[in-house]
Copies of this chain bind each other. A is one copy, B any other.
Amino acid sequence: MFAHTPPPPYYAVIFTSLRTPGDQGYEAMARRMLELAARQPGYLGVESARGSDGLGITVSYWRSEADIAAWKANAEHQLAQHKGRQTWYEGFFTRVARVEREGPRPADGAK
C-alpha cells in the first residue's frame, strides 16, 4: 500500500483524476498499467486512492525525469492515455515533482 521509496531525491508523478460513471474496462486497464509500470526502468513504487466521490490520486515514484518520459512514451501506456481522455476520465491533471525530503517515519513497519 505504501511505496517503499529510497532516500530522496527522486521524482513523483502526481496524477489527479475524476472518473466517468461505469467501469467500461477501466479496472482491468488500471491493473495492467500498474503491472507494466512496475517493469519500467527507474520505477520506485506507486500509491493510489480513489474516494466515493470519484476523485482519485495516483502518485508514482521514479528515479529520474528520463524514466518518467520513457514510461509516458510506452506504446501500451499511450493507448491507455488516449482511452483515458476519450472514455474513462471527466477530467485529470498531471504534475511532475522532485521529492526533496521525507517526514519522519513514526510508523515504520506499518502496512
Instruction: State the A residues within 8 Å of B (CB).
Output: 1-3, 5, 8, 12, 14, 16, 18, 47-53, 55-57, 59, 65, 85, 89-103, 105-107, 109-111
Contact = CB atoms under 8 A, between A and B. Distances in A.
A63 B23 CA distance: 37
A47 B55 contact: yes
- Of A3, A47, A49, A92, the most chain B CB neighbours within 10 A belong to A49
A53 B1 CA distance: 9
Given A2-B91, A59-B57, A85 B110 contact: no
Contacts of A93: 2, 102-103, 105, 107
Contacts of A14: 12, 14, 59, 99
A2 to B, nearest CB: 6
Among A5, A8, A18, A97, find the residue whose CB has the most chain B CB atoms closer than 10 A. A97
A1 to B, nearest CB: 5
A25 B49 CA distance: 22
A86 B103 CA distance: 17
